[in-house]
A and B are shown apart, each in its own frame.
Chain A
Amino acid sequence: AQSVTQLGSHVSVSEGALVLLRCNYSSSVPPYLFWYVQYPNQGLQLLLKYTTGATLVKGINGFEAEFKKSETSFHLTKPSAHMSDAAEYFCAVSTDTGRRALTFGSGTRLQVQP
């Protein structure tokens, strides 16, 4: 079975500062990794995903994440935070064995201060 740990349930940054949201996963087989964003009263929207190939993945809205197998990590970054980035972010994992649904982390709420 796979699992995801997101370090920090709340992260606060200043507008223009670096955003770093941490995600570590556990999987006995090669994982597929995803970051989703949830704005208030909305569903989840995919930011980016890693399946195979290049370990640095670029997503929408200037976000990117790097798959590091040796560290079992998939941290999400953005060089410069915007007020519109304030939302909840979920890291998720799935694999091609067993059930193929997403297993989510507990989420990180990002606050952006003016």
Chain B
Amino acid sequence: DSGVTQTPKHLITATGQRVTLRCSPRSGDLSVYWYQQSLDQGLQFLIQYYNGEERAKGNILERFSAQQFPDLHSELNLSSLELGDSALYFCASSGRGTGANNEQFFGPGTRLTVL
């Protein structure tokens, strides 16, 4: 158990819909990262938050957005869903400091299926 929790574990929805994925980082971790894992794109970095502020953006679509709340949990919002958005979405957290050498602890993921 990494200490990172993600809900829900599975999500099935239809094209055009909007969903919210939730992540609670390890106690004391200030950084939250979101990654998407799909068969055709592999593991891709989407976005990072540090202590409530956006720190870095990766290959995140404009239809996707995220935020980190004062209690440090984070939500990833996916809207106008398309079939190609079906994937496993991981959240990871790392400790104090923003060094790239910090270990990231991964949650179990949310499997999104868009029908």
Contact = CB atoms under 8 A, between A and B. Distances in A.
B11 interface: no
Contacts of A107: 42-43
Contacts of A95: 100
Contacts of A105: 42
Interface residues of A, number: 25
**Residue among A32, A36, A44 with the most chain B CB within 10 A?**
A44
Contacts, number: 61
A77 B101 CA distance: 21
Interface of B: 2, 4, 33, 35, 42-45, 48, 55-58, 90, 92, 98-101, 103-109
11 contacts: A44-B90, A44-B106, A94-B101, A96-B100, A98-B56, A99-B57, A100-B55, A101-B33, A101-B56, A104-B43, A105-B42
Interface of A: 32, 34, 36, 42-46, 49, 51-52, 90, 94-96, 98-107
